């Protein structure tokens, strides 16, 4: 693995954003809309709820963190789809580029885009609605790390699915965070779910993040062991997603699917 090749994949995405300012708009627009919408909802709930409970960290904080995971996933998948939309995917692998280098290049791209989105959300939520994660200090970093790794795993798995089923299957990728959100307890404790949904929650790393943060917001004790388990799960899912992408790529090369890769579905 060579760092120059990895950097070249990320640099291509940088040139895309630099050459087309319209690509920068989604990095700010959607997160700003989410924070504004949920910020005013929490402000309204605080005005009608009994004193002593603040909905801002409970709801707006949850939205911010879930949006962060979503932006991480979309950072990987969108970078891959840029190569698909521009018919550049075959050109990438006409070079000595390794699969691992390509995937890590997508991850580096996701780091850049997700950091921009996170900073935008933090600034807007802090300035407009008084939400500040800085009050928790470095304690928030492990939670963000688990969400980041979970988003990377989702992004790699989504790109592998598009590679196997064709560009038309991208519409299966975008709803993935929304499908998972009821199981990870973004807005409510996992205990409120039926038993079969709780069983699924136990194998999803973000569920440990939101359970732990909810306990911190309420001033209750929480178990770091749960977050460590969530971290281990996210590493396992990244490895599994990477293996899945590699397997799909090799099948595509062996069957000639890669050579026929075009804007139409290749399933």
Question: Region 184-211: what's the mean pLDDT?
Answer: 93
- Would you say residue 138 has pLDDT above 80? no
Q: Evaluate whether 151 touches 69 at the Cβ level (below 8 Å).
A: yes
Question: Region 239-261: what's the mean pLDDT?
Answer: 84
Output 110 or 134, whichever has higher pLDDT.
110
Judge if pTM exceeds 0.85. yes
What proportion of the chain, given as a percentage, has pLDDT over 90?
35
Distance of CA 230 to the CA centre of its chain: 15
Burial annotation 44-79 (CB, 10 A radius, 16+ → b, else e): eeeeeeeeeebbbbbbbbbbbbbbbbbbbbbbbbbb
Question: Region 140-157: what's the mean pLDDT?
Answer: 93
Position 136 scores a pLDDT of: 66
Please tell me what DSSP assigns to residue 174.
T
Position 208 scores a pLDDT of: 94
Position 254 scores a pLDDT of: 83
Position 266 scores a pLDDT of: 42
Query: Which residue, among 53, 6, 25, 37, has the nearest Cα to 129 in the 3D structure?
Result: 37
Give the pair of three-digit tokens for residue 72: 């991480």
- 248 CB neighbour count, 10 Å cutoff: 19
Give the start-to-end residue ranges of the domains of the chain: 3-255
């Amino acid at each position: 693995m060579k760092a120059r090749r990895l950097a070249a994949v990320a640099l291509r995405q940088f040139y895309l954003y630099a050459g087309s300012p319209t690509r920068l708009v989604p990095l700010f627009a959607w997160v700003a809309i989410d924070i504004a919408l949920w910020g005013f909802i929490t402000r309204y709930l605080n005005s009608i709820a009994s004193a002593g409970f603040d909905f801002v960290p409970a709801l707006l904080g949850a939205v911010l963190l879930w949006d962060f995971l979503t932006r991480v996933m979309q950072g990987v998948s969108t970078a891959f789809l840029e190569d698909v939309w521009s018919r550049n995917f075959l050109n990438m692998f006409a070079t000595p580029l390794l699969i691992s280098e390509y995937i890590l290049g997508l991850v580096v791209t996701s780091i850049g885009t997700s950091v921009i989105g996170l900073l935008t959300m933090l600034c807007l939520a802090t300035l407009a609605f008084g939400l500040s994660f800085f009050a928790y200090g470095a304690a928030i970093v492990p939670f963000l790390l688990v969400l980041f790794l979970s988003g990377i795993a989702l992004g790699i798995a989504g790109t592998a699915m598009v590679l196997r089923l064709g560009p038309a299957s991208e519409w299966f990728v975008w709803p993935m965070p929304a499908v998972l959100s009821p199981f990870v307890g973004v807005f409510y404790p996992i205990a409120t779910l039926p038993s079969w949904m709780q069983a699924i929650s136990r194998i999803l790393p973000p569920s440990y993040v939101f359970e732990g943060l909810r306990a911190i917001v309420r001033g209750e004790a929480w178990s770091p062991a749960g977050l460590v388990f969530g971290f281990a799960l996210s590493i396992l899912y990244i490895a599994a997603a990477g293996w899945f992408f590699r397997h799909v790529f090799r099948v595509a090369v062996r069957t000639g699917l890669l050579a026929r890769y075009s804007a139409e579905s290749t399933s």
